[in-house]
Amino acid sequence: MFNIPADYRFGLRLSERGCVAGIGDGIVWVRGLPSAELDELIGFDDGSTGLVFQLGKDMLGAILLSQTHDLTAGMSAQHIGRKLEVGVGEVLLGRVIDPLGKPLDGLPAADFRHYAPLEAAAPTILERDFVNQPLYTGCKIVDALIPIGKGQRQLIIGDDGLGKSSLALDAVINQRGRDILCVMVMIGQTRASIAGVIETLRQTGALEHTVVVVAEANALPGFRYLAPFSGCAIAEHWLRMGRDTLIVYDDLTRHAQSYRELSLLLQRPPGREAYPGDIFYLHSRLLERSTVLSISSGGGSMTALPIIETRQGELSAYIPTNLISITDGQIYFDSKLFAAGMLPAIDIGRSVSRIGGKAQHAAIKAASARIRLDYLQFLELELFARFGTRLESGVEEKLQRGRLLREVLKQDRLEPLPESAHLAWLLAYSEGLLAGIAPAAVNVILGKLLQSLVESPLSLNSPKPQWLAYLREQLLVLK
C-alpha cells in the first residue's frame, strides 16, 4: 500500500512541454513553452540543458550549455524552474573553472555554500562611494602617470601582441599580500596561452588569491558569452562582503564577437559592423557592476580592467568607441612604440585616467605632477630635432632629460614594482639626481637603488627631505 503524504491533494496538474525544432552551432530552437522567460534554464530528455536567449512568436531560441549526442529534433523540452547561477566563495581561490563553475584543473569540484546569479542589477547610486583608494599595478607608467583607483574601470586597449595581457597579469601578480582578491576571465584564447598564464600565476604565487574563469577558443559560443558575467558574479560576491577585488576581462573583443555570432544565428537584425543594436548595453551592464561601495553598504570594491583589441590602431571602430565611453579611462598601447623597443608600449599622450588621480597617494601625485607634461614636450622637441636644425643649449638639455626619462619608464614584464619604488625613481628624476648618468646605464643603477629600498625604513608617508637624503647617499655610491 502506498504512503500518501497528509498534505497531498488529488487534482489535475498541467505542465508545459516543448519540442525541439532544430539544432546547430550551439543553438537549439524549441516550439512550445509559452511561459518561458529570458535567461531561464530549460532541460531536454537526454539530459542536455539550455539557456533561453531569444523569444519569438512561434519558437524560442536557447544557448546550449551542455549537449549530448542524443539531442535530436523532435525531443521533448521542459522548464527547469530556475535561473542560471554560479558557485561563489573563497573555495574558488586558486582554481581554474569554466563559466558554469565546473573545474578545469583536474581537481575535485568545489563544495559551494553560496550561489550567485550571473545577471544581477548593478549597485544603486546610494550604495556607491567615491573612488579614493589607489590600486597599484606595479607598472611605472600606470602608477605614476595613469593611476588607477579601487572601484575604477580602466580600459586596456591596443593592437594584438603589444603587451596588454602582460600588463593585466602584472597587476594581478602585484596584488599578492595586499588582501585583494583577483578574478581573471579568459575568453576565446588558445589552450596554450591559457596554460601559460596559469603557470605564470602559479610560479609567482599569485594563483593563491586568484580565480581563473576560462572559455576556450573552441568552446561553444554561449560559454564565451557567459564567461565575463560568471567572473563578475564571483567578484561581486566578495564585493558585497566588503572585500577589495580586481577583475580582468581578457578580452571583450572576443566576447563581442561571440555575442554577434549568437545574435546572427538567432536571426536578430544586424546593425553597425553586423553587431546587434544592444551590444553597448551588453558591456555597460557588465562594467557598471564594478564600483566602490559606501561604508554603510559594506565598503567593498571591484576594479575592472577590460581589455579590447584594435586593428592597426583604429580607435574609432565600433567596439573600442563603446568601451571608451563606458569606462573611466584607457591605457593605450601603440605599435610604433613597441617596434621602437619602448616596453611597455604605452602611449602616454593617448592614455588617460579620469578619476584615478583622486585616489593617488599625495607623495606620488606631487612627485609626478610635471613628468607627464615634460615627457610630452620632449616627444615634440625630439620630432623637431630630427630635421637637423641647430638647437639651443637649453633645448639640448631638455632632450637629454627626455631621453633619460624614456629609459627610466621602460620595464620588463612580470617585474611589478612596489609603490615605494615608484616614489624613489620619481623623486630621483624630478630632483635631478639622475643627471650625468647615461640613458643606457640608468636602469641598471635604478635597479640596484630599488633593491636597497627593501631594507630601508622609508615609506610613502616619510618626509620628502628624508627621501632625498637617502637617494643622494645611495646614488653617490652607485654612480
Residues annotated as part of the active site: 354
Q: What is the dihedral of CA 260, 264, 268, 270, to 10 degrees?
A: 70
Start-to-end CA span in the chain (Å): 96
In whole angstroms, give the CA distance from residue 151 to residue 356: 10
User: What are the strands, taking DSSP E only, across 129-261?
Assistant: 134-135, 148-149, 155-159, 180-187, 210-215, 244-250
**According to DSSP H, which parts of 66-190 are helical?**
140-145, 164-173
The DSSP line for 187-211 is ES--HHHHHHHHHHHHHTTGGGGEE
In whole angstroms, give the CA distance from residue 69 to residue 377: 64
Give the residue from 205, 281, 193, 290 showing the smallest Cα distance to 247. 290
Q: What's the CA angle centered on 16, arms 10 and 17, to 5 degrees? A: 120
Listed in sequence order, the residues at least 6 apart from 277 whose beta carbon sits closer than 8 Å to its beta carbon are 269, 271
CA dist 63 → 24, 48, 103 (Å) = 10, 11, 21
Asked, as a colleague might, if the bond just before 251 is cis with ω within 30 of 0, I would say yes
* Contact present, 153 and 181 (Cβ < 8 Å): no
Binning the chain into helix, strand and coil, the percentages to the nearest 5 are 40, 20, 40
Interstrand relation of 27-31 and 18-24 (parallel, antiparallel or unpaired): antiparallel
Interstrand relation of 301-310 and 155-159 (parallel, antiparallel or unpaired): parallel
- How many C-beta atoms surround the C-beta of residue 394 within 10 A? 8
Interstrand relation of 301-310 and 49-55 (parallel, antiparallel or unpaired): unpaired
Give the residue from 221, 8, 183 showing the smallest Cα distance to 95. 183
Give the amino acid at 356: G
* Contact present, 23 and 72 (Cβ < 8 Å): yes
